[in-house]
Structure 1
Amino acid sequence: MTENSSSQTADRYRKIAAAFTERVERVPADGWDSPSPCEGWVARDIIRHIVGTTEFFLGAPAQGAPSVDEDPVGAWKSARDTILGALADPAIAGKEVESPAGTRTIEEMIAIFGVGDLLIHTWDLSRATGQDDTLDADEVNRLFTFMQPMDEMMRQGGAFGLRVEVPEDADPQTRLIAFTGRTP
C-alpha cells in the first residue's frame, strides 16, 4: 500500500460516506423501522450492518460509539470517523488481515469491500426511507466492473440474491442494483 492509494481510498470512502450521511440524517424518527430492500431488514438494520463492517475491517468496534438502537445517526457517524481515522494512519491502514479475498491490508479491504458495501447500502437506505436513490456514477461503474467476474462466487455465501433480470439498455445503476439481487 502506498500513501497515494490510501489517500485515494480515503477520498472514495469519504465521498460515498458523505452521500450515505445525507440519507442517514434525513431518516425521520419513525422511519428506522421501514422495510429495506434487503429481505428481513429494516432501515436500522442497514446501519447495524455498516457499523458492523467497521469491526470486521478493524477487528474492533468503534470506541465510544452509541448504540444503533438508541442513536443510529450517531452510531453511523462514529463508524465513519473510525474508518476515516484508520485510513489516515499508515500503521493501521497498512496492517495485514485475513479476508474472504486472502491476506489484505485494511486499506485494501476498505477499497475492495467497504466502499462498494456502503454504496449499495446507500441505495437500500434511500429506498427504505423514500429518498433519492441516485448513486455516484463513477463508483457504480467501478463496482459493477469489479463484481461481474465474481458473479458465481458472490452468490455462494448468501450475501447476494439471484440476479434480477433488467432490459439490456438499462442504465448502469439499474444493472448494478439488479446484479446484487435487488429489484430496481
Structure 2
Amino acid sequence: MIADRYRARADAFEHKVATVRSDQWTNPSPCAKWTALEVVDHVIEMHGVMLGQPIPRTEDPLTDFREARRQVQEALESDRATSEVSTPVGPMTLEQHVDQVVSDDLVLHGWDLARATGQDETIPAADVERLWASAAAVPPELMERFRTPGAFGPGIEVYGAEIEVPADASLQDRLLGYVGRDPLSKSS
C-alpha cells in the first residue's frame, strides 16, 4: 500500500518535472525563497535523507529525480522497508517515514512546482483528504514546531505560517492554506 501510494505520487511528480520548460526553472515557487528548480532539488535531497545517503546528482533534474525515486522504491520493496529508523518525531519503520515525509512532499511540492510553472494544480481528492486528516491531527505543540524554521534541521520548515482562505474554499485550498501556501494567489 505505502509503496503503491509512493509510486503513484512519484509518477505524478515526475510528470511535472518532465513538463517544466528550460526557461521555467528559475521561476519563483510558493515556497519562500525557492525557485522551481530548488523545489525539485529539495525533494531529491529529502529522498536521500530518507535513505541515509545523498542521491548522486547530474545537471538534469529529471534524471536526478528518477534516480532518487528508483532508490526509494527499491528500499520500499525490500526487507529494509520494515526496518526501524530514527526520526525527529520518534522511531518508525522506513516505509512509514517515507510515507509521512517524502511521499507527502511529492503531493505538496508537486503543487508548488505546478504553480511555479503554470501546470495543472489539481491534487487528487484522495491525497487532499489524506493530507488534510494528517495535518489536522497534529497536536498544537508539534504543529508549532512544524511551523518553526530550522526546528528539524538547518533550512527545514515543514509547514509555513497558516494562510487564511475563505470558509467555503475547497478542501484543497483549505489544506494548502493550512500548510502555508496561498492557493488564491496568481500562478506564475
Match of 1:3 in 2: none
The structure with the largest helix share of the pair is 1
Matched, 1:53 2:46: yes
Match of 1:154 in 2: 146
Q: Scaled by the length of structure 1, what TM-score is found? A: 0.89
Q: Percent identity?
A: 39
Per the TM alignment, residue 27 of structure 1 is displaced from its structure 2 partner at its CA by: 0.3
The 1-side partners of 2:89 and 2:13 are apart by: 25
RMSD: 1.2
Secondary structure, counterpart of 2:91 in structure 1: strand
Match of 1:178 in 2: 177
Match of 1:31 in 2: 24
Unaligned runs of at least 5 residues, structure 2? 152-156, 184-188
The 1-side partners of 2:102 and 2:48 are apart by: 12
Match of 1:14 in 2: 7
* Alignment check: 8 A CA contact 1:16 1:136 kept: no
Letter in 2 for 1:152: E
Deviations 1:158-182 (A, max 9, x none): 4322111111111111111111111
The 1-side partners of 2:137 and 2:171 are apart by: 16
Match of 2:62 in 1: 73
Unaligned runs of at least 5 residues, structure 1? 1-7
The 2-side partners of 1:169 and 1:152 are apart by: 25
The 1-side partners of 2:170 and 2:144 are apart by: 22
The 2-side partners of 1:45 and 1:134 are apart by: 21
Q: Scaled by the length of structure 2, what TM-score is found? A: 0.87
Match of 1:43 in 2: 36
The 1-side partners of 2:5 and 2:32 are apart by: 28
